[in-house]
Amino acid sequence: MKYDLIVIGGGPGGYVAAIRASQLGMTVAVVENENVGGICLNWGCIPTKALLKSASVFEYAMHAADYGVTLDGQPKADFSKMVARSREVASGMSKGVQFLLKKNKVETISGFGKLKDGHTVEVSASDGSKSTVTGKHIILATGARSRTLPNLPQDGVKIIGYRQALTLTKQPKSMVVVGSGAIGSEFAYFYNAIGTKVTLVEFLPNVVPVEDEEVSKTLERAFKKSGITVMTNASVESVDTSGDLCKVKIQTKKGLVEEEAEVVLSAVGIAPNVEGIGLEELGIEMDKGKVKVDEYYRTNVEGVYAIGDIVPGPALAHVASAEGITCVEKIAGLNPHPINYKNIPGCTYTNPEVASLGMTEKAATEAGFEIKVGKFPFTASGKASAAGTKDGFIKLIFDAKYGELLGAHMIGANVTEMIAELVVARNLETTGHEIIKSIHPHPTMSEAIMEAAAAAYGEVIHM
């Protein structure tokens, strides 16, 4: 069959691109080897947030007395029910995406898609049969998988990746988490919150190393306070899985130490799914293991585009979706603005949460900016005090000359919901004074944004 557009991969990049293309009048097919919704919906963003919500509810129950609520008996974490709920949430969302694709007349083709030429895709079905479909345009949106290291070979039982971490049949008594990016930190928080003894190992000097240093240090303190053992400037040298417990040898500044744990979670990043999809055969150019594209996601082969985790840029679901929309709007003859990769929000759903945007204070200084920095702690927030969530702060960085917002860095309750305000502000080239003069509702956590801006200009009231 011939389509206007074929999308290989039904994740948040692929299915969004397909629906937008259909809205623009194209005939569209999505080739997906597993479940629509991709890793994010089935094995990443959504099911992890369901687990994290369970951990949050459990923590509230454990501290109910702090809020004047008396519970009969000690709350218990039912791990199997938490996992079951997480899978139900993911399944429901996947069915929702299937409905959206059908509603928008997008055909879903099950199987593994491989480029044969710039307009043809070979689909290998699970029963071994093969078929071909053709289209005027083809978008590659094949996503990524858990990255493996030679000294951390994942066996799916004792050394696991994020998929297994979502579906363990029983709660481990102890776990070593290797890597403190968003995936590692979120799982470290979840398992620790429900009673697993967690050790978090990070190669770099700070946890969540892409974040502003003050944010990283604050999260590390929160982790340690909650009982997580945090090792920074440390690397896992080897794991012996021959016994009942994994023996993990960790190189630290003070020398080699050994930790024992039931399970080791490897959270050392992701690897793009670029193998076996026909890139080499078509001579599609690569850049450091990813597909090389222009600002509208065109590859060097006419008719072939690529988006999401397989192209350079942040490997985030919301980025893939934006890239898919930009790509198909350009194909359709519209004139979309290229994505501004300096204005991409990042979120980590630990407790406290972390959210950020733009330059860190260090990066802004190194770039030669004269800066104004405003910081407002949630200890000074009435809403945070009332809610019992006083950990964290809002930190804003402005260009002293023009008042441009260069970066925003948040740690605290609900900050992942608050960062979008500053994405819009930066997109509109809002200045610090305009944020200060934008009346924020009281009492809210979000008014800390206004207060942080005011702090940068010496006008803060409540601190």
Predicted confidence (pLDDT) per residue in 279-324, tens digit: 999 999 999 999 999 999 999 999 999 999 999 999 999 999 999 9
The reported pLDDT for the residue numbered 250 is 97
Given CA atoms 175, 41, 207, 66 in this order, what sign does their dihedral have? negative
- Catalytic residue flag (residue 442): yes
What are the CB-based long-range contacts (under 8 Å, 24+) for 381-384?
381/443, 381/445, 381/447, 381/448, 381/462, 382/442, 382/443, 383/442, 383/443, 383/444, 383/445, 383/447, 384/412, 384/413, 384/445, 384/448
pLDDT tens digits for 197-229? 999 999 999 999 999 999 999 999 999 999 999
**Whole-number percent of the chain with pLDDT over 90:** 94
**352-456: CATH superfamily:** FAD/NAD-linked reductase, C-terminal dimerisation domain (3.30.390.30)
Distance between first and last Cα of the chain:
66
**Whole-number percent of the chain with pLDDT over 70:** 100
Half-sphere exposure of 409 (CA within 13 A, CB side): 26
Q: Stretch 170-195: mean pLDDT, rounded?
A: 97
The reported pLDDT for the residue numbered 1 is 65
Token pair recorded at residue 319: 């980025």
Radius of gyration in angstroms for the set of CA atoms belonging to the chain, rounded to a whole number: 24
Task: Supply the angle between the helices 415-427 and 447-456 in degrees, to the nearest 10.
Answer: 60
Report the distance separating Cα 399 and Cα 373, nearest Å. 9
The reported pLDDT for the residue numbered 81 is 97
Report the distance separating Cα 453 and Cα 463, nearest Å. 12
Q: Stretch 334-363: mean pLDDT, rounded?
A: 97
Q: In the predicted model, is pLDDT for residue 128 greater than 80?
A: yes
CATH topology for 159-268 is FAD/NAD(P)-binding domain (3.50.50)
Burial of 140 (0-12, 13-18, 19+ CB in 10 A): buried
Which residue ranges make up the annotated binding site for NAD(+)?
A: 179-186, 202, 269
Given 137, 440, 442, 462, the catalytic residue: 442
Report the distance separating Cα 216 and Cα 393, nearest Å. 12
pLDDT bucket at 393, cuts 50 / 70 / 90: very high
Intervals of CATH 3.30.390.30 along the chain: 352-456
Intervals of CATH 3.50.50.60 along the chain: 2-146+271-341, 159-268
CATH topology for 2-146+271-341 is FAD/NAD(P)-binding domain (3.50.50)
Which residue ranges make up the annotated binding site?
A: 49, 113, 179-186, 202, 269, 309
Under a CB-based contact definition with an 8 Å cutoff, are residues 298 and 305 in contact?
A: yes
Report the distance separating Cα 447 and Cα 441, nearest Å. 7
Q: What is the pTM of this model?
A: 0.95
pLDDT bucket at 257, cuts 50 / 70 / 90: very high
Burial of 345 (0-12, 13-18, 19+ CB in 10 A): buried
pLDDT bucket at 62, cuts 50 / 70 / 90: very high
Q: In the predicted model, is pLDDT for residue 80 greater than 80?
A: yes
Which residue ranges make up the annotated binding site for FAD?
A: 49, 113, 309
